[in-house]
């Protein structure tokens, strides 16, 4: 059995878990937990390791989708998760400009980890507050050749489009390398 993985990354609460949930054939294995004890709440609200989902391609091939912990304090996990990935998706919450800088920073960090193809998914494009795609491109300082794809992480077809665009980029990269 061959397994390959893609990583879904982005700031905290950008929609990574929903994205994976939309296409995973198993319930997303989420290690997110809300801390209920008041004493612990003072220290931190949640403890998050990672999420993962699975898509069985055929009898010999399985694709795993790994969602990175969005909180900065878990960034030591990012490099581990990025090892051997086929490509990665950077999720951006189009309605929260205060997270754009962090999204860009995460993108640059992952680019430094691995020279694999990636796409940026502009999530929550169904929301009235969402920034238009071209404004987002400027805000995130994305070069024209980088795919910035409108997305609604709860809609399977939109998520499929993002994953397919990433796979097309991977294929194109293979042709040129």
Partner 1 sequence: MALKGNLRDFSTTQLLNLINLAKKTGTLVVEGPNQAAQLAFRNGKLIYGQLAQEDGNLTSILHKAGKLNDEQARVLRERAARSTDKELGLLLINAGYVSQTDILLSIRAHVLDIVYRLITWVEGLFRFEQGVMPSEDRITVPIELENVIIEGARRMREWERLVEELPSLDMALKFTEHPNVNIRDMKLSVEEWRVVSFINPKNSMKAIAKQNNLTDLEIRRIVYGLLQAGLVEVIRPEGAPRPLPFGLSPRKPSPPTPAEKTAARGLVNRLIARIRSL
> What is the contact surface with partner 1 in residues (CB under 8 A)?
2-5, 23, 55-58, 61, 63, 83-87, 101-102, 104-105, 108-109, 111-112, 114-117, 141, 143, 156, 160, 163-164, 167-168, 170-171, 173-174, 177
Work out how close the CB of 65 gets to partner 1 at its nearest, in angstroms, rounded to a whole number.
Answer: 11
Residues with Cβ within 8 Å of 4's Cβ and at least 6 positions away in sequence, in order, are 61, 62, 63, 64, 86
Residue 42 vs 59, nearer CB to partner 1: 59
Euclidean distance between CA atoms 92 and 101, whole angstroms: 10
> What tokens were used for 127?
């929301």
Closest approach of partner 1 to the CB of residue 52, in Å: 14
For residues 33 and 156, which CB has a smaller minimum distance to partner 1 in the complex? Answer: 156
**Whether 83 contacts 55, CB under 8 Å:** no
41 vs 72, which CB is nearer to partner 1? 72
Please report, for residues 39, 73, 118, 129, the alpha-carbon distance to residue 136 in angstroms, rounded to integers and kept in the order given.
40, 26, 16, 12
Extended strands (E) in 22-147 = 29-30, 33-34, 46-47, 51-58, 61-67, 87-93, 118-123
Nearer to partner 1, 84 or 127 (CB): 84
Residue with tokens 């990433």: 166
- Token pair in block for residue 70: 């969005």
| Least gap, CB of 112 to partner 1 (angstroms) | 4
CB of 99 to partner 1, least distance (A): 12
Q: Closest separation between CB of residue 175 and partner 1, Å?
A: 8
Measured from the CB atom, is 133 or 170 closer to partner 1? Answer: 170
């Amino acid at each position: 059995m061959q397994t390959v993985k893609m990583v879904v990354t982005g700031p905290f609460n950008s929609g990574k878990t929903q994205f994976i949930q939309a296409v995973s054939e198993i319930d997303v294995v989420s290690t997110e937990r809300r801390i209920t004890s008041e004493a612990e709440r003072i220290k931190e609200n949640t403890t998050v390791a990672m999420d993962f989902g699975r898509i069985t391609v055929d009898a010999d091939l399985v694709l795993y989708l790994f969602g990175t912990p969005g909180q900065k304090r878990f960034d030591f996990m990012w490099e581990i998760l990025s090892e051997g990935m086929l490509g990665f998706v950077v999720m951006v919450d189009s309605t929260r400009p205060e997270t754009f800088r962090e999204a860009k920073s995460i993108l640059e960090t992952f680019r430094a980890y691995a020279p694999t193809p990636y796409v940026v998914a502009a999530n929550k494009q169904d929301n009235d507050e969402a920034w238009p795609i071209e404004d987002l491109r400027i805000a995130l300082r994305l070069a024209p050749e980088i795919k910035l794809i409108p997305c609604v992480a709860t809609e399977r077809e939109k998520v499929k489009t993002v994953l397919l665009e990433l796979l097309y980029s991977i294929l194109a990269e293979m042709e040129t390398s």
